[in-house]
Amino acid sequence: MSSVRLLRVSVALAVVGAIAIPASASAMPVVTMSGSTSVAPLASLLARAYLKSNPNAVKFKLAQGGSDVGIADVAAGRVSIGNASRDPKSSDPGGIFFNKIAKDGICVITNPGNPVANLSQAQVKAIFGGQVRDWSDVAGSNISGAIDVVVRTAASGTQDAFQKIFLGTTSVTGAASQKSSNGLIQNAVHTDKNAVGYVSLDFVTGTNAAAYNGVACNLRNAKSGEYGGVRNFWMVTRGKPAASSQTAKFIAWVQNSSAAQKIVGTHWVPLQ
């Protein structure tokens, strides 16, 4: 199931990057994006919809790599937009501007063969911190055996948000396996009965999304504010782009257009 989900995203990105170019292509502006694997599916959908409303106005190119990669890329002028799924840090390069476009739920996931119904924050800290290492010691687990903890790499915005929201000062166990994308964590948990990880809400297919502190991790609860594991999505620019630029026009459309925010609302939390 997860391989199908990953393929769908990859194809969507390829289509956006391969929009037909008219004869006057040399004059067509190009908006380039890199960064968060959480934001990428949404950015792809938004870019495709924008092109339908503004045919032959711009070309989009979208790459991934993690939030820190996107922020570094835009700060260095390598891309127009750095997609980020974490909030600004004091250590971020100077001269960049964070444009909020949506919110997103982070779900703690287990294998469907181990459908843990709920995890408290204390349990999440104990599991991901390595204090609890066997599923037999986790209330609600129907299996025993070593817990295989799967987390994101340090460049990930999802990792940063998970640390702040779920773990606080608790450090992730050194025994955890690190993955570079939501899809890789999704696949690791889907194929390993003993695994536990966390992903953007859009990547729970094929896994069991555990409730957090008694609240189900689903879109309805994320939108209502009842679910506690919600973070921001950003499109980061090098300074505030000129209003006449295609980058500024695209971001303004994403933030203010009802059509764009309707797309956001299909799997993510709209701004309004």
Give the right CATH number for 105-224 from 3.40.190.10, 1.10.1200.10, 2.40.128.120, 3.30.1490.20: 3.40.190.10
Q: 62: Cβ–Cβ under 8 A, 6 or more apart, which residues?
A: 13, 16, 17, 32, 33, 34, 40, 43, 44, 47
Give the model confidence (pLDDT) of 130-150 as tens digits: 999 999 999 999 999 999 999
| C-alpha span between 155 and 95 (Å, rounded) | 20
pLDDT at 202: 95
Residue ranges of the chain assigned to CATH 3.40.190.10: 2-103+232-267, 105-224
Give the model confidence (pLDDT) of 105-128 as tens digits: 999 999 999 999 999 999 999 999
Overall average pLDDT of the 156-170 stretch = 98
pLDDT at 124: 98
Q: Is 214 left (phi over 0), alpha (psi -120 to 50) or beta?
A: left
Mean pLDDT for all residues in the chain = 91
| C-alpha span between 75 and 196 (Å, rounded) | 34
Give the right CATH number for 2-103+232-267 from 3.40.190.10, 3.40.50.150, 1.10.10.60, 2.40.110.10: 3.40.190.10
pLDDT at 26: 54
